[in-house]
Structure 1
Amino acid sequence: MQEVQETLEQAESWLAERPDVDTLTKLALLLAGAWVANFIVKKILLRGLLRILSYTPAGKDRQAIERNIVARIANVVPALVIAFGITSVPNLSDEVTIIVTNVCYAFIVITIARAISGTLTIVNTLYERQPEAQTRPIKGYIQVAKIVIYAVATILMIAVLIDKSPVILLSGLGAMAAVLMLVFQDTLLSLVASVQITSNDIIRVGDWVEMPNLNADGDVIDIALHQVKVQNWDKTITFIPTRRFISDPFKNWRGMQESGGRRIKRSLLVDQQSIHFLTDDELKAVKRFRLLKSYLQSKQQEIDDWNQQLKDEGKEPVNTRRITNIGTFRAYILQYLENHPKVHQEMTLMARQLNPTSDGLPIEVYCFTNTIAWAEYEGIQSDIFDHLLSILPEFGLRVFQHPSGIDMREMTRNLHESGTKSSS
């Protein structure tokens, strides 16, 4: 024992003669102690805590594990060891000790702020799994809370680094209010817009929105504080400032999606020169249509009753009412739609005649499909007009079409042939 004591006394005297070595030795011990504390917390305590949490629903959530909130908080321990242990290192000036201590405290502040921010991210992720998240997103509010947290953390870090009270810094913010409002103008406007969007249920994640002035036409995939992400149908992404949904006009197709039906509104342009009263032969031909039996019977009875009241004047066909091919065709369209299995029968359904134009007489089909799927909707619409275009000649009607090059060549050939026959 005496030999050991003498050895320690010699080491102390040797270190006393060499203060730099003593300082470096204590610093090395301090760093080693911080490393040991970090190892114990992260490798032993933290691992045990995560093992315990793995038996709970929260511990099985991958989002919570990936965010590693507990590991971030664990970084506070070695910083505290250094902050409290730096004062025991000899031969360090007060300025160095204060700087190291303040840096450690600043690191602790930012570490806690990051941990709180990660916790808020997990809260938002878990909330987005709830059904009400589609109508009441909180991502904008979470981002505002993060901004506040990091703003407070920045003030505390600056106060710690300059070794001043944060109250002094906060008192100086009053004079900078105008500057801050200018700097955070977009954030404030976006916050107001987010509140209005949420409270008025203007848009939701999954809504189909159309904003032509920004070339946006697709589904909303994310609603954040500053931007709303819209995935267009060509799979491109349009980033729209949140406040534009308050200030600019746009179309939300949610009503169509919730109704279960999608509108068909398209016209056939009928050549007006092909419109006429049905002759007896034509009337006999259209009676073959199963869909027109009830219409023709009721219409013929109505016309006969009308014409009987004319008495002698009814002998002139010009004074009588007769069935037209265009009216019969409209009745056929209506009956065809009412019997179509993919047309929504509980919504508006009609075939109407619009104002005549130089391009023909528009016969508009107005109905709704019983599906909102885009591809199916287009297929149903195409099938309906395929049929109507094909059956139109059965009513003695023609579709109007501007003359093409083939038509002009055919006309020229006919004129040439007629001229040749006349000369011969």
Structure 2
Amino acid sequence: MHKFVAKIFGWSYPLFKKWDFGETLSAYLSLAINIVVLSFLSYLIFLIFRYVLVRTMIIVARKTKTRFDDLLVSNKTAKYIAHLIPLLFVYKSVPIILENFVYWEAVFGKLVAIYIVLLSLWIIKTILHAVRDHLKSNPSYSDKPIDSYIQVIMIVLWLFAFIFIVSKIFDISTGTMLGTFGAVSAIILLIFRDIILGFVASVQVSLNDMVRIGDWITFDKFGADGDVIEINLATVKVRNFDNTTTTIPTYSMISDSFRNWRGMLNSQGRRIKRHILIKANSIRFLNEDELLELKKIQLVSSYIEKRQAEINKFNKANQVDKSILINGRNMTNFGLFRKYITQYLSQYPGLNKDMILLCRQLQPTPHGIPLEIYAFSNDKRFENYEYIMADIFDHIFASIVYFDLEIYELPSSKDYLSD
């Protein structure tokens, strides 16, 4: 190749000297002509090789079943490889063109070598992006932080490229550069602190399966509440339910607390845990007439009969004086209402009956007695879950008056006016 290049660029200088243009002028005229020829030939070689490589890769991608070569085409790998051929031609031609310009020969030789290194990195980057896209299309890897690993590989490659470029510019051996690099490692660690922390965090997140792409997470510290759309070396991106995007430092996923809803989404139901407050002074014992009236409520009619028979048997066996309701055993409107809600929930079609289903009384508060519903909806989708929960509590609010109970709420302006 050297002889071929020499024939292309070695003819002009002897010709100008033969025409008596002088040593200096012949050198400069030859340089100008050779630069024009080099530029034209380099661009022509680039066009030819780009056309050949791109067309060849497209044809191969269409004929093969694998999707990886299609991704190489979409990431323009062949286009960047086509730059290498004319660049190598330039690299071989520079010593011949600048034969009479020793200083500039060294300078341009270094520049071309540096550009070859940078172009090689860019080609590797397109290949890695094709690998990333291929792995993400595989369900087994779709939730893995592939971007983080690719970024780590690129950082290492850029590090070696930087060492090569500096050693090339200043004519320093690679061994000396590595020694110097080790001496300034503390400074480098300080500069790349976030990247190093992010890399360690991304590895831990992946190995411990703490979060995956597609997970619904809640991170109160950063105001994030939505689906994870990207995990890379430095950040985790979350698309919130209001369509905003929150960016969280990756190392915060292991240093701070956040909530991952994956377990709920993979389970058989989504938990409903909500309570209402019952006024304490509205809770009382029920007399015979009230029980007779409440038997008309179908969900608790059989329960009232069975429970009333047990209570009457106990009171009779212990000769309880029932002239006062507090004596002996009795049913309360609050207890009967809890039983009614439990029966209602057990028949409600939107709840999973194989999971916990409770209507329970909690610790009394200054605002009343909490009555909590603890159950799991069959449908875990946000909008349907909210509808199921609202439908249940709509029924609770509407049915509570039949048991002569009151819900605690702060008085409004109308309440003050009526007083």
TM-score greater than 0.5 by the shorter chain: yes
Structure 1 residue 305 corresponds to structure 2 residue 305: no
Q: 1:27 to 1:203 in 2, by over 3 A?
A: same
CA contact (8 A) 1:127 1:133 kept: yes
Q: 1:277 to 1:255 in 2, by over 3 A?
A: same
**Residue 319 of structure 1: SS of its match in structure 2?**
coil
Q: What amino acid is the match of 1:224?
A: N
Q: What is the CA-CA distance between 1:15 and the residue it aligns to? A: 6.8
Within-5 A mapping of 1:70-149? 70-89=78-97, 92-149=100-157
Q: What amino acid is the match of 1:303?
A: I
Tell me the equivalent position of 1:229: 237
Over residues 115-155 of structure 1, what are the superposed CA-to-partner deviations in whole Å (9 max), with x where a residue is unaligned? 11121122112111222224533221111101111111122
TM-score (normalizing by structure 1) = 0.89
Q: 1:91 to 1:366 in 2, by over 3 A?
A: closer
Q: 1:221 to 1:157 in 2, by over 3 A?
A: same
Paired residues, what number?
403
Please, which moves more after superposition, 156-165 or 352-361?
A: 156-165
Structure 1 residue 67 corresponds to structure 2 residue 75: yes
Tell me the equivalent position of 1:14: 19
Within-5 A mapping of 1:147-226? 147-226=155-234
CA contact (8 A) 1:350 1:367 kept: yes
Q: 1:59 to 1:259 in 2, by over 3 A?
A: closer
Q: 1:105 to 1:324 in 2, by over 3 A?
A: same
Which of 345, 349, 355 matches 2:357?
349
**Residue 92 of structure 1: SS of its match in structure 2?**
coil
Q: 1:10 to 1:105 in 2, by over 3 A?
A: closer
Structure 1 residue 267 corresponds to structure 2 residue 275: yes
Q: 1:227 to 1:94 in 2, by over 3 A?
A: same
Q: What is the CA-CA distance between 1:16 and the residue it aligns to? A: 5.7
Q: What is the CA RMSD across the aligned residues, in angstroms?
A: 2.2
Q: What is the CA-CA distance between 1:65 and the residue it aligns to? A: 2.1
CA contact (8 A) 1:50 1:59 kept: no
Q: 1:60 to 1:129 in 2, by over 3 A?
A: closer
Q: 1:300 to 1:24 in 2, by over 3 A?
A: same
Paired with 1:400 and 1:42, the residues of 2 have a C-alpha distance of: 77
Over residues 349-393 of structure 1, what are the superposed CA-to-partner deviations in whole Å (9 max), with x where a residue is unaligned? 111112222322221111111111111111111111111111111
Tell me the equivalent position of 1:3: none
Paired with 1:387 and 1:296, the residues of 2 have a C-alpha distance of: 21
CA contact (8 A) 1:23 1:91 kept: no
Please, which moves more after superposition, 277-286 or 374-383?
A: 277-286
Over residues 306-347 of structure 1, what are the superposed CA-to-partner deviations in whole Å (9 max), with x where a residue is unaligned? 112213656765422122111110000000000000011111
Q: What amino acid is the match of 1:13?
A: K
Q: What is the CA-CA distance between 1:196 and the residue it aligns to? A: 0.9
TM-score (normalizing by structure 2) = 0.90
Paired with 1:300 and 1:231, the residues of 2 have a C-alpha distance of: 56
CA contact (8 A) 1:342 1:380 kept: yes
Q: What amino acid is the match of 2:286?
A: L
Q: 1:100 to 1:332 in 2, by over 3 A?
A: same
CA contact (8 A) 1:270 1:363 kept: yes
Please, which moves more after superposition, 27-36 or 383-392?
A: 27-36
Structure 1 residue 252 corresponds to structure 2 residue 260: yes
For structure 1, which runs of at least 5 residues remain unmatched after alignment?
A: 1-8, 412-424
Q: 1:247 to 1:59 in 2, by over 3 A?
A: closer
CA contact (8 A) 2:57 2:69 kept: no
CA contact (8 A) 2:57 2:73 kept: no
Q: 1:59 to 1:284 in 2, by over 3 A?
A: closer
